[in-house]
Homo-oligomer: A and B are copies of this chain.
Amino acid sequence: MKSSAFHCEPVDAGRPPSARPLRLLIVSGCLFLAACIGSTAPALGQSARPGTAPKGANRGPADNFTGVVWVKPLVPPGSRTDCIVSEVTFEAKGRTVWHKHPNGQILVVTQGTGYYQEKGKPIRIIRQGESVDIAPQVVHWHGAGPNGRLTHIAIIPNVSRGGAVNWMQPVTDQEYGQAK
């Protein structure tokens, strides 16, 4: 690019001096905004915009989830590993109903911050980079916090021996609101 392209002095000739800092601010702001937009590139198949479906994901059924939850199958039933693996994205306040797994479950948080709770225990805050190792038959729920998305990988092992999951009753707003 030629340096003359940046020489805009003649355009300013009739303007007051105070217009120049303003222009500087506007141009800087636009560049800053462009960089920020560029930085929102999503991890995994996640869509950049909360509220819209991540690529390859569908809405989780209302019987199993409260609020808006997206499920992207990564390893469907029938794998010779005997695992089912999914990427699950919860919009703010989205959550599973209470449930348990005959052979347990592992969660690996890949984006955001959210909640995990086992029946009778306090709500645990779970963050990007953390995992949760859930023992067989432990009744629990997981989901996003109130202010933003949570995405985790969900691994269910040994599905041919006893099934994948037993869904139970919804997590009430009162139960959800007990997070500290």
Contact = CB atoms under 8 A, between A and B. Distances in A.
A117 interface: no
Contacts of A9: 17-18, 20-21
Contacts of A22: 6
Interface of A is mostly: mixed
B157 A83 contact: yes
A64 to B, nearest CB: 20
Interface residues of A, number: 54
Contacts of A29: 31
Contact of A129 (B45, B82, B134): B45
A44 to B, nearest CB: 5
A82 B32 contact: no
6 contacts: A8-B21, A43-B110, A74-B106, A79-B104, A106-B155, A155-B155
Contacts of A157: 81-83, 157-158
A38 interface: yes
Nearest to A84: B106
